[in-house]
Chains A and B, each alone.
Chain A
Amino acid sequence: MATMTYIEAIRSAMRDEMERDERVIVMGEDVGVKGGVFKATEGLQKEFGEMRVIDTPLAESAIVGVAIGAAINGLLPIAEIQFQDFIMPAVDQIVSEAAKIRYRSNNDFHVPMVVRAPFGGGVHGALYHSQSNEAMFCHVPGLKVVVPSTPADAKGLLRAAIRDPDPVLYFEHKRAYRLIKGEVPEGDEVTPIGTARVAREGADIAVFTYGLMTHFCLDAADKLAGDGFECEVVDLRTLRPLDREQIVASGRKCGKVLVVQEANLAVSVASEVAAIVAEECFEYLDAPVMRLGGPEIPGVPFSPPLEEFYMLTPAKIETALRKLAAY
């Protein structure tokens, strides 16, 4: 096992997969010569050449559109969108094309493509470099959406996404890139898409979360443990399709449920998790299902105190957990 940062694990997954399978290519703005604005693809062009690590124009619809075409023709493209905020021009390609081609062509074509995009705030990135737009894509049948929280899963999930025969959106929390370090297995470990991970076991409150918030929730759960409340923190890892079985199991076990996400709550992943709990765990509930997320305002503000207000923190999560514990 090697200790890696979250971003090193992402890079390592791409390198390993490119070595393993020459059909894997990387494309995006500044991914080649520069090695990516966050250095996620650093060294890949040197190692694998300009034909497999392609610098593209600043045109997201083209990046994804070209990747779709390459995928249909037998390659395994990893398209990088520099910031998830800028994915909007590519939404038509992702939603109207990539998601639908297998269905539309009656299985004749499929799109084994990965779209990587950094998301999330807390980095003083302001409105256009801080968004968490995952929910929009979770609504779309034909897409898979994954968000790793640990370096091990960053690698394992990216491997799974590359090997998946259909389009997978791989969202990486940009604040986690160098903040989160962890052990990453040496071998060919794959994190299966559609499985959640119990990051901490407990029987009092089930906390469902993903991405950077997983770490915040674990911190908050430790605080409560001192007072005799054991939280079960479930890292969802895959946001579509959700691991219904694990959600139901933990929901029933604890009877109190908090869903935590950085994104605002309306019509979101948290909404879906809460709905599953309401449908499948009703008889076991000992408190109303609670959700905690960002406020319903159009963007993550730039001003530091306003950004602090916007972002969730372990302390805010702890407050919500205590409320639920006391209920």
Chain B
Amino acid sequence: MAVTVTMPQLGESVTEGTIQQWLKQPGDAVERYESIAEVNTDKVNAEIPSPVAGTMGEHLVAEGAVVPVGQAICRIEGAEAGAEEGLTVAAEGAEPKDIVAAAPPPVEREPVAAAPAQKEADVAGVATPRDGMHLTPAVRMLAREHAVDVAQISGSGIGGRVTKKDVLEYVQRRDAGEIERPAAQPEPVGGVAARRAEIGAAPPPAQPPAPAPAPVAAGSDTLVPLTPMRRAIAEHMTRSVQTSPHAWTMVEVDMTRVARVRARRREEFKARHGVDLTFLPFVARAVVAALQKHPTLNATWSADGVVLRREINLGLAVALEDGLVVPVVKGADRLSMSGLALAAQDLTDRARAGRLRIEDVEGGTFTLNNAGALGTVMSQAIINQPQAAILVMDAIVKRPVVVDDDAIAVRSMMNLCISFDHRINDGLPAARFLRSVKETLESIDDSADLW
């Protein structure tokens, strides 16, 4: 028996992965569930376990190849038949059936509620917009006909799918001048279609909009190939800026008390919990408390309304040498200070080691970025879609500050910068949220529980 292993679905929005390295060469014995290849997706690195025991056969794709989910990547020979629950094993000679290597099961699409009352809950379950790759034939045809870039349209369908209606509404608004026509689109497309209808002419063959001239590395320039992560970051950042009208504001927080508490309790904390007591868990806790008071900051925009997320899953931006990743502390509202510290440490360590799992980077509802660790004092972050806001804690610096009694004192000051989706929140809730974080941090004292 031989089986064909295909690229597994390594997360709900992942469409392809790069075979980073083959861990088993043709001829190598393979145990069931033993890792056979390292795969690099746009979100995380993962290993593909073998679905069966046997001998590694032919590699169907080379290292470095980008492989769509579902495509065959290798064959495993001499597999024991029949024993694999949930796997299809095809006999040699017969039409080889695909086996999807063990992977996190794809997220089941939640049924859409019949009643509006249920709708919100269901929407909350599926609100994460996909990467726009699921286009139905109707959407493709309309997009072609009206020269629409579907990526510009926010989808109202299940899982953020762009529907036929969305495209038609977009075209209508565009033709009404409510949306700026792309510069490379000199002719009014609606006019063409109308004229075509008038003269009864067949539609011309579809013309893709002229792409911008691709810059080419010339002479002494160096072309750095895009890693999956680079491409993903580029796509996410572009999409976020195009999707959300970003507004930005900042407060100054006096971190002197936090710094004092931290200095006094650091050793005790380390001895007890095994991790260093950084500023991050203090801020994270204050943020979680503030999100509970201001739920519109822990929310997602949808065409039907603003979805307030019940869970508070705090994304922590982690800078890597070659990119950026945002692992998520799930259920952050249920974690103590030490719980947050441990979770943050674990996620950061694993992010740097390239050992995050898909579930570690999914489901975030709000993102906290500790850019201050890099020394920055004022940052304007881009929202991590589909969240409502992103908060940056900048560097804590000692500065002379005018204190209450009009004296000048040296205080440890930190800027808290928030970028928020102005569709969901105005300045008032954003400012109230910041003030809430600020008050929590400034009122901390030695009696604070650091358990």
Contacts and interface: CB of A to CB of B under 8 A. Distances in A.
A318 B138 contact: no
Interface stretch (A134-142, A146-154, A162-170, A279-287): A279-287
Interface string A306-327: 0000000001001100110111
A297 B164 CA distance: 36
Taking each of B116, B139, B141, which has the highest tally of chain A beta carbons within 10 Å of its own beta carbon? B141
Given A204-B165, A327-B157, A322 B138 contact: no
B171 to A, nearest CB: 14
Given A322-B112, A322-B114, A327 B163 contact: yes
A326 B112 contact: yes
Interface residues of B, number: 16
B158 interface: yes
A219 to B, nearest CB: 14
Contacts of B136: 255, 285-287
A323 B109 CA distance: 11
Contacts of B113: 322
A327 B162 CA distance: 9
Contacts of B111: 323
B161 interface: yes
A255 B112 CA distance: 19
Nearest to A252: B138
B137 A284 contact: yes
B157 A283 contact: no
Interface string A163-197: 00000000000000000000000000000000000
A286 B138 contact: yes
A326 B137 CA distance: 17
A319 B114 contact: yes
Contacts of B138: 255, 283-286
Contacts of A256: 164
Interface string B96-116: 000000000000000111101
Contact of A282 (B112, B137, B163): B137
Contact of B163 (A286, A319, A322): A286
B139 A286 contact: yes
A285 B137 contact: yes
Contacts of B141: 283-284
A326 B138 CA distance: 16
A197 B164 CA distance: 25
Interface string B142-185: 00000000000000011001011100000000000000000000
Given A283-B138, A286-B136, A326 B157 contact: yes
Interface string A50-76: 000000000000000000000000000
Contacts, number: 41
Given A255-B138, A326-B157, A327-B158, A286 B164 contact: yes
Interface in A257-308: 282-287
A282 B114 CA distance: 27
Contacts of A287: 136
B164 A255 contact: yes
A325 B116 CA distance: 13
Interface string B364-387: 000000000000000000000000
A286 B111 CA distance: 18
A204 B156 CA distance: 14
Nearest to B161: A327
A171 B139 CA distance: 39
A282 B140 CA distance: 11
Nearest to A288: B136
Taking each of B111, B113, B138, B141, which has the highest tally of chain A beta carbons within 10 Å of its own beta carbon? B138
B114 A283 contact: no
Nearest to A321: B114
A25 to B, nearest CB: 50
A285 B157 CA distance: 14
Contacts of A325: 112
A257 to B, nearest CB: 11
Contacts of B112: 322-323, 325-327
Nearest to B123: A326
Nearest to B114: A319
Contacts of B165: 204, 286
Contacts of A319: 114
Interface in A231-258: 255-256
A287 B141 CA distance: 14
Contact of A283 (B137, B158, B161, B163): B137
A246 B112 CA distance: 29
A326 B163 CA distance: 9
Nearest to A287: B136
A282 B158 CA distance: 20
Contacts of A323: 111-112
A298 to B, nearest CB: 27
A324 to B, nearest CB: 9
B124 to A, nearest CB: 14
Nearest to B139: A286
Interface of B: 111-114, 116, 136-139, 141, 157-158, 161, 163-165
Given A283-B141, A286-B165, 6 more contacts: A255-B164, A282-B137, A284-B138, A284-B141, A322-B113, A327-B163
28 contacts: A227-B116, A255-B136, A255-B138, A255-B164, A282-B137, A283-B137, A283-B138, A284-B138, A284-B141, A285-B138, A286-B136, A286-B138, A286-B139, A286-B163, A286-B164, A286-B165, A287-B136, A315-B114, A318-B114, A322-B113, A322-B114, A323-B112, A325-B112, A326-B158, A327-B112, A327-B158, A327-B161, A327-B163
Interface of A: 204, 227, 255-256, 282-287, 315, 318-319, 322-323, 325-327
Q: Which 10 A-B pairs have the closest CB atoms?
A: A286-B164, A326-B112, A286-B138, A319-B114, A255-B138, A286-B136, A255-B164, A283-B137, A323-B112, A284-B138
